[in-house]
Amino acid sequence: GRLQADPKRFPSGIRKLADYVHSKGLKLGIYSDVGNKTCAGFPGSYNHYDLDAQTFASWGVDLLKFDGCNSGTLELLAEGYRRMSLALNKTGRSIVYSCEWPFYLRPVQQPNYTEIKQYCNHWRNFFDVYDSWSSIKSILDWTALHQDSIVKIAGPGGWNDPDMLVIGNFGLSWDQAVTQMAMWAIMAAPLFMSNDLRHISPEAKWLLQNKEVIAINQDPLGKQGYQITKDKNFELWERPLSGRAYAVAVLNQQEIGGPQNFTFSFTFLGNGLACNPACSVRQVLPASRDWGVYSWVSSLSVEVNPTGTVLLKL
């Protein structure tokens, strides 16, 4: 049968909800599952991929988040993700396809990211994010550990998805919120907020709407950033940008004590080419500041709070 909206939660139906959301200049996403049931026990899309895709399109849905619970074998999992991708394309409506495919493969086998990118617009690799620093840290640690296999496949049309932004809730300090926003920009991550906009602070709103950070995140070159060195508590990440520019993040994983200084040479960046022969340096986070012009052989020292990040653009 055809999926139906819950009459108590959506008394006017999903199409009316989509029309309302679109009238506000926003997009509507919906959730389903490759298996016969979702992770929460609601009906999944197994063997109803074409029908469900047509239903979502008729409702005016703009994004499908497709989970991988209750899918049976890995072969059925892969088949389901492929079939839903083809079904969405057949509807003629532009629907972003958000997959969990590699996350469900990794405990057993290495994902084929070339195939996954062929079918999905972005994909989750790791556990769900929670409103806590330990969750953000675990995502960053996993990404750095696996960057050799995941960074090279990311680009326009297909992105690694480290999950949603939890900025504006209650579990992160200000420095930790800055870290999530800065690092999600470095990782070229899809930016989805998971918060209650009725109760968001002005500071969180400023961070989430920061145009310089968003410009780094959505840079048209479309290359994902990566960790280039780690020194005790400090990590140095870079992301190539269009126009021969670079974004650089200095992350302090220290959780106790006060701010610490980290000094790096510009010869570390871009295989020695990011600042050759010279470059202007602008700090984007935690507050905007112009550092001036530096030569290729010079160094920069930045002060970073515990669990904080300084985001620079060269």
Catalytically active residues, by annotation: 67, 128
Cis omega (within 30 of 0) on the bond before 102? no
Residue 100's CB is within 10 A of a number of other CB atoms, namely 24
The Cα 38–Cα 32 span in angstroms is: 6
